[in-house]
Amino acid sequence: MENLKENILVKLAQSGNKEAFIALLKSVEKKLFRVASIISPQEADDIIQETFLQAYLSIKKFRGNSSFYTWIYRIMMNIIYKKNRRKKLVFKNYYSTSYLDNEDEELKERLRECLRKLHPMFSEIITLFYFEDYTIKEISELLKIKEGTVKSRLFKAKKLLKKMIEKNEPF
């Protein structure tokens, strides 16, 4: 969505225009659902519903320092973190390993298993960078962390994945 159009819809939504708010939600719904489905597949619908409700209740607090998507994404991630505070995140076998030969099913399964075991801080970075095609700068802005932090988490996540995969040798 163009920035100007988004800004107009945000202002309208903040003044109580429900159609404008619905248009904003429709512009981000698929992306949010895709991320929620990766992180918490069984609860994705509930997470999206809670996210939309929280966004509706908080729209007047949106200052416009970031895009609407960045703002609502943070709301969604906070909801996910709260829901999963006491239980470990289980990542769906969403992670595409189609770049691997079809014959190497064992490696694919091991990679999926390792991705599910990663700490959410690293899984989120891996998901955004490799599966959602975000740049380091975009991830930095989205998560409100420095680019150097994104790079170091990405490096550490790849290192952890490599170690996890090598731990269960041989292929």
Q: What is the pLDDT of residue 91?
A: 41
Residues 78, 119, single domain; the answer is: no
Are 125 and 38 in contact by the 8 Å Cβ rule? The answer is no
**What own/partner pairs with CB < 8 Å and gap ≥ 24 does 53-60 have?**
54/79, 55/25, 56/21, 59/10, 59/13, 59/14, 59/21, 60/14
Report the pLDDT averaged over residues 133-159. Answer: 89
Can you give the pTM of this predicted structure? 0.57
| Residue 62 belongs to some domain of the structure | yes
Rounded mean pLDDT, 118-125? 83
Residue 112 phi/psi, 5-degree rounding, is -60, -45
Q: For residue range 92-102, what is the model confidence (pLDDT) as tens digits? A: 334 444 444 44
Is pLDDT above 60 for 115?
yes
| 67 vs 113: CA distance, rounded Å | 34
The CATH number of residue 66's host domain is 1.10.1740.10
User: Is the Cβ–Cβ distance between 20 and 6 less than 8 Å?
Assistant: no
pLDDT > 70? residue 80 = yes
Number of domains into which the chain is organized: 2
